A and B are shown apart, each in its own frame.
Chain A
Amino acid sequence: MNAPLAPPPARGCRDTPVLKERGQREVFCGLTGIIWLHRKMQDAFFLVVGSRTCAHLLQSAAGVMIFAEPRFGTAILEEKDLAGLADANDELDREVARLIARRPDIRQLFLVGSCPSEVIKLDLARAAERLSVAHAPHVRVLAYSGSGIETTFTQGEDACLAAMVPTLPATDAPGLLVVGALPDVVEDQMRALLAALGIASVATLPARRADALPAVGPQTRVLLAQPFLGDTLAALERRGAVHLPAPFPFGEEGTTRWLAAAAAAFDVPAERFAAATDAPRARARKAVAAAAAPLAGRSVFFFPDSQLEVPLARFLARECAMQPIEVGTPYLHGAILGPDLDLLPEGPALSEGQDVDRQLDRARAARPDLTVCGLGLANPLEAEGLATKWAIELVFSPVHFYEQAGDLAALFARPLRRRAALGALRGQPEAGDPA
């Protein structure tokens, strides 16, 4: 039998005042979610209706991963599309027809709105209805916005999943719905854990294929696998589903408490819970202990990126003995993050939104041992002598649940191990002028 979970801290961060910033933001827009969503939904195509900038963003965020003809693309608006919306709709219909003809493997098509399509008020929801009729039953067409004026990075997944909710079949059967795209290997581990608890009916949103969509109804209990899914949760609640608040499944503690929320809702006996979780809990603790040694007692500063910041700070503080200085997040959803805020010991500043130059000033003053930030800031901060962790890797890598707990700690530890390994060899970039 494992040791019981550590008690929550005397004072958590739920009541910590939040610094709200509205200056320059150094974050991705919601289009970036396409990079992992298209991997998850294997018969879906994501068609951004936008500009050359959108296409360039996707290409840059994906590295230059040209494997084959990718399952995402950009319908680039041109001068004549801006002149008349009727023509733009005709053009869109033509491009979609051409795409579907060339790609018979595609069963779901997402029209993804962008900043320019929103500004010219191109109604993609109506276009999706029209195109769904035209291409039924083979292809279902949905629309959502990944525009930077409305969504920040991971909110693109939220918008995508929320757009799918009205299309889900209805059910009155009880069941657990886990919401949020996870790598397949992680999803399989999660299903095995829930099966071991004896929870028979487990569905996921998004599903891997269009014909495996989950059903939803008043007996549906929802666990979020990702914290950035507020709109999707609200849409599911409108369908009668009930949210199970829980800390997010990062680390041994987060995973155990997340599973415990499911166990409580489905009346899983304590012995069964222990039988299912004892061994993986022990493994996870051992793996975290092995990886987290360089982190103990070190300070950490989060720039806003994915909305994963609060649960990750909780993991680092509670399981890796780190001291968060500032936890910045693009958007702080109190109801969803409440359980994590309760566990995050009082101390760090919480900030929402961004004014990047001011936040950089704060980070420079605090001199954290580790700074978690985006790719645009990482090398400049390294050049100033601060160790950094690319935030985006935390979104793209498998980090959820017990078997990844050690990997998650290792991701944070690697920059510090690398510094130690290089010792006195501190490289400096060629002289530049930061004007």
Chain B
Amino acid sequence: MKLALWTYEGPPHVGAMRVATGMQGLHYVLHAPQGDTYADLLFTMIERRGARPPVTYTTFQARDLGSDTARLFKDACAEAHARFRPEALIVGASCTAELIQDDPGGLAEALGLPVPVIPLELPSYQRKENFGADETFLQIVRALARPAARTPEPSCNILGPTGLGFRHRDDVAEIAGLLREMGVAVNVAAPMGARPSDIARMGAAWFNVLLYPETGESAARWCERELGQPWTRTVPIGVGATRAFIAEVQRLAGATAEPDASRLRLPWWSSSVDSTYLTGKRVFVFGDATHAMAAARVARDEIGFEVVGLGCYNREFARPMRTLARELGLEALVTDDYLEVEAAIAALQPELILGTQMERHIGKRLGIPCAVISAPVHVQDFPARHSPQMGFEGANVLFDTWIHPLVMGLEEHLLHMFREDFEFHDAAGPSHHAAHAVPLARAAAAPPPAAGAGSIPGPAAPPEMPPEVSPEPEPAPRGPAEVVWLADAETELRKIPFFVRGKARRNTEIFARDRGIARIGIDTLYEAKAHYAR
């Protein structure tokens, strides 16, 4: 038994739903109690889908348990086939149905339906959402894909994109364009957008492009073994990775065409002088392993940040994550407990977080800006515009999205010059991002919140309301009680721009405590500044 307050991943059958909902012509019959249908709203609300997920739930109730839940499953399966006429069915159980052991696979097979029926075994009490998606896609490919004659011209399959994926729609479009420019045709992109009949002809591709190892690696490995298709190891997020990916594709395809890199702007945007102020900004990176590892490399090598923390929530990828963290001189944080992540961020006091929606909330509470780089997704992560993470345009998007939460270079300079000017007072904040200005400015004066979450103010927000408009709690009080700030030092502290004041206060207090200084004066403040100067 493990206590969870918020989770990064849903249960494995939600992963199966991401595969089914991304595909077309496939239907999922899920043995599950009523209530499990909540998962539909993830797709209809967050992703704004205009069709219900192709899922039939048996929605058994207590009164059915005493009688015949197996009958209920068979009826649901037959009715789903009759109503939706899919090319193939996947069948399985959610956590509760796993306990009643009705064997959905066997029951569905006994119906003798005229389409392939693919049983799923997803252990709900051991595994999670990404596993569910990866395993479901593997089973579909195993059941349907067959060796086939290769296409005459170079071609590949794109593997891994699913429903409810972080920017999958835009990444696939971007990478398909890149491949086209290189003279490589996309045979099938799957699961998202593919029909079961498309899966059947995957064997015609020369090789596979694996965009999302979390949801497609098992299928890629199976195709390598059974269909003789090699697969790309580089996930093309960032300039360096995109170039490495291009080289890999050229090797696999024997193609020599170079894609058009003229639209790549990140290198100049990063080299231009306004970006000087980005140098050595301390960033904390957390997400799924693929996105977090890619972000750490981009942050260090392409934007000039200093990565001070790195981790992921999916243990399946702990090994490469730990290796990369060691390369960066860090110890990887591999956990699915967001309280641990929050504690790490609070201790490190980074200037920017690159994380998930969970870290975005942690950042709001701590007054640290955050850019979102990975699932779990939120309605904000499905923008109307084209906004890939991968390829050349993806690199441009990374620059913009990561830099915007920060104070821009020239603006930071001006704020510093005019810090005592009446119009540049604390509460004014940076013009484009007022939301982050208030918490830090108030933090020093705020009374400690009531213990625990009793401090949540206001009425419950309606569901799906963007968190921005929800009431915000006061940040935690800063600094231990035993260190006292003298009035003149407190005044001096207020002259420091608000966006670095939290760090200055914390550093000064640590400095004072380490030296047994109980009262912080102006000298202590500047001694600490000199001590921590880079």
Residues of chain A at the chain B interface (Cβ within 8 Å): 23-32, 35-36, 39, 42-43, 47, 49, 51-53, 55-57, 59-79, 81-82, 88, 91-92, 94-95, 98-99, 102-106, 115-116, 118-120, 147-150, 152, 183-185, 357, 374-380, 382-383, 392-393, 396-398, 428-430, 432-435
Instruction: Convert B461-502 into 0s and 1s, putting 1 for each residue whose CB lies closer than 8 angstroms to a CB of A.
Output: 111110100111100000000000000000000000000000
A65 lies within 8 A of B461 (CB): yes
B44 lies within 8 A of A118 (CB): no
Closest A residue to B63 using CB positions? A149
A374: shortest Cβ distance to chain B, in Å? 7
Binds A, one of B46-54, B385-393, B432-440, B517-525: B46-54
Instruction: Assess whether B7 is interfacial by the CB under 8 Å rule.
Output: yes
- What is the interface residue range for chain B against chain A? 35 or more
Binds A, one of B27-35, B146-154, B323-331: B27-35
Q: Which of B3, B40, B94, B358 contacts A53 (CB 8 A)?
A: B94
Closest A residue to B463 using CB positions? A63
**Which chain B residues border A380 with CB–CB below 8 Å?**
44, 49-52
| Distance of A209 Cα from B59 Cα, bound (Å) | 36
Q: Which of B14, B44, B65, B460 contacts A379 (CB 8 A)?
A: B44
Instruction: Assess whether B103 is interfacial by the CB under 8 Å rule.
Output: no
**Which chain B residues border A103 with CB–CB below 8 Å?**
451-452
**Which chain B residues border A357 with CB–CB below 8 Å?**
79, 83
The winner among B14, B26, B62 for most chain A CB atoms within 10 A is: B62
Instruction: Using A53-B124, A380-B50 as known contacts, say yes or no to A73 and B11 having CB atoms under 8 A apart.
Output: no
Closest A residue to B58 using CB positions? A24
| Distance of A257 Cα from B85 Cα, bound (Å) | 51
A74 lies within 8 A of B3 (CB): yes
- Give me 11 A-to-B residue pairs in the complex whose CB atoms sit less than 8 angstroms apart, sorted by A's number: A24-B56, A27-B35, A32-B38, A56-B7, A68-B473, A77-B125, A105-B450, A375-B44, A377-B52, A432-B49, A433-B24
B100 lies within 8 A of A119 (CB): yes
The winner among B85, B339, B461 for most chain A CB atoms within 10 A is: B461
Closest A residue to B13 using CB positions? A53
**Which chain B residues border A105 with CB–CB below 8 Å?**
450-452, 454
**Which chain B residues border A51 with CB–CB below 8 Å?**
11, 95-96, 124-125
Q: Which of A72, A81, A92, A379 contacts B45 (CB 8 A)?
A: A379
Q: Which of B35, B49, B50 contacts A148 (CB 8 A)?
A: B35
| Distance of A43 Cα from B467 Cα, bound (Å) | 24
Instruction: Convert B99-133 into 0s and 1s, putting 1 for each residue whose CB lies closer than 8 angstroms to a CB of A.
Output: 11000000000000000000000011110100000
A410: shortest Cβ distance to chain B, in Å? 14
Instruction: Assess whether B281 is interfacial by the CB under 8 Å rule.
Output: no
| Distance of A418 Cα from B3 Cα, bound (Å) | 43
A52 lies within 8 A of B51 (CB): no
B442: shortest Cβ distance to chain A, in Å? 16
Q: Quick one: which of B352-399 are within 8 Å of A by CB?
A: 357-358, 361-362, 365, 376, 378
**Which chain B residues border A73 with CB–CB below 8 Å?**
3-5
B124 lies within 8 A of A67 (CB): no
A82 lies within 8 A of B51 (CB): no
Instruction: Using A150-B61, A392-B462 as known contacts, say yes or no to A378 and B38 having CB atoms under 8 A apart.
Output: no
A232: shortest Cβ distance to chain B, in Å? 19
Taking A36-B460, A148-B59, A432-B24 as given, write out 12 further A-B residue pairs in contact, using a Cβ cutoff of 8 Å, ordered by the A residue number: A26-B37, A52-B128, A60-B42, A68-B455, A70-B5, A73-B4, A75-B2, A119-B100, A375-B464, A379-B48, A380-B44, A397-B462
| Distance of A120 Cα from B361 Cα, bound (Å) | 36
**Which chain A residues border B211 with CB–CB below 8 Å?**
none
**Which chain B residues border A185 with CB–CB below 8 Å?**
459
A75 lies within 8 A of B3 (CB): yes
| Distance of A261 Cα from B74 Cα, bound (Å) | 50
Closest B residue to A61 using CB positions? B463
B4 lies within 8 A of A53 (CB): no
B325: shortest Cβ distance to chain A, in Å? 25
Q: Which of B39, B57, B358, B453 contacts A68 (CB 8 A)?
A: B453
Closest A residue to B365 using CB positions? A68
Instruction: Using A75-B3, A115-B95, A434-B54 as known contacts, say yes or no to A396 and B462 having CB atoms under 8 A apart.
Output: yes
B125: shortest Cβ distance to chain A, in Å? 5
Count A/B pairs, Cβ under 8 Å: 282
Q: Which of B7, B44, B54, B62 contacts A378 (CB 8 A)?
A: B44
**Which chain A residues border B124 with CB–CB below 8 Å?**
51-53
A119 lies within 8 A of B467 (CB): no
| Distance of A378 Cα from B58 Cα, bound (Å) | 21
Instruction: Assess whether B410 is interfacial by the CB under 8 Å rule.
Output: no
| Distance of A60 Cα from B459 Cα, bound (Å) | 18
Instruction: Assess whether B145 is interfacial by the CB under 8 Å rule.
Output: no
5 closest A-B pairs (Cβ-Cβ)?
Answer: A29-B35, A429-B50, A148-B35, A376-B40, A383-B50
A433 lies within 8 A of B51 (CB): yes
Instruction: Assess whether B235 is interfacial by the CB under 8 Å rule.
Output: no
**Which chain B residues border A63 with CB–CB below 8 Å?**
461-465, 467
A288: shortest Cβ distance to chain B, in Å? 22
Closest A residue to B124 using CB positions? A51
| Distance of A377 Cα from B94 Cα, bound (Å) | 21
B51 lies within 8 A of A76 (CB): no
B10 lies within 8 A of A82 (CB): no
Instruction: Using A77-B1, A78-B125, A380-B44 as known contacts, say yes or no to A59 and B451 having CB atoms under 8 A apart.
Output: no
Instruction: Assess whether B6 is interfacial by the CB under 8 Å rule.
Output: yes
**Which chain B residues border A118 with CB–CB below 8 Å?**
62
The winner among B26, B126, B459 for most chain A CB atoms within 10 A is: B459
Instruction: Assess whether B86 is interfacial by the CB under 8 Å rule.
Output: yes
**Which chain B residues border A396 with CB–CB below 8 Å?**
460, 462-463
A76 lies within 8 A of B10 (CB): no
The winner among B4, B338, B358, B470 for most chain A CB atoms within 10 A is: B4
A69 lies within 8 A of B34 (CB): no
Closest B residue to A430 using CB positions? B50
Instruction: Using A35-B460, A36-B460 as known contacts, say yes or no to A65 and B2 having CB atoms under 8 A apart.
Output: no
| Distance of A148 Cα from B13 Cα, bound (Å) | 17
B465 lies within 8 A of A429 (CB): no
| Distance of A88 Cα from B2 Cα, bound (Å) | 11
The winner among A118, A148, A396 for most chain B CB atoms within 10 A is: A148
Instruction: Assess whether B414 is interfacial by the CB under 8 Å rule.
Output: no
Q: Which of A61, A67, A81, A434 contacts B473 (CB 8 A)?
A: A67
A51: shortest Cβ distance to chain B, in Å? 4
A435 lies within 8 A of B365 (CB): no
B194: shortest Cβ distance to chain A, in Å? 11
B34 lies within 8 A of A152 (CB): yes
A118: shortest Cβ distance to chain B, in Å? 7
A52 lies within 8 A of B7 (CB): yes
Closest A residue to B128 using CB positions? A52
| Distance of A398 Cα from B460 Cα, bound (Å) | 11
Instruction: Assess whether B417 is interfacial by the CB under 8 Å rule.
Output: no
Closest B residue to A103 using CB positions? B452
B50: shortest Cβ distance to chain A, in Å? 3
A405: shortest Cβ distance to chain B, in Å? 19
Q: Quick one: which of B56-94 are within 8 Å of A by CB?
A: 56-62, 64-65, 76, 79, 83-87, 94
Q: Quick one: which of B186-203 are within 8 Å of A by CB?
A: 195
A426: shortest Cβ distance to chain B, in Å? 12
A125: shortest Cβ distance to chain B, in Å? 16
A111: shortest Cβ distance to chain B, in Å? 12
| Distance of A206 Cα from B359 Cα, bound (Å) | 34
Instruction: Assess whether B456 is interfacial by the CB under 8 Å rule.
Output: yes
B48: shortest Cβ distance to chain A, in Å? 6
B54 lies within 8 A of A115 (CB): no
**Which chain B residues border A71 with CB–CB below 8 Å?**
452-454, 456
| Distance of A42 Cα from B85 Cα, bound (Å) | 50
The winner among A65, A88, A98 for most chain B CB atoms within 10 A is: A65
A25 lies within 8 A of B3 (CB): no
| Distance of A392 Cα from B51 Cα, bound (Å) | 19
Q: Quick one: which of B314-346 are within 8 Å of A by CB?
A: 338-339
A22: shortest Cβ distance to chain B, in Å? 9
B348: shortest Cβ distance to chain A, in Å? 19
**Which chain A residues border B100 with CB–CB below 8 Å?**
119
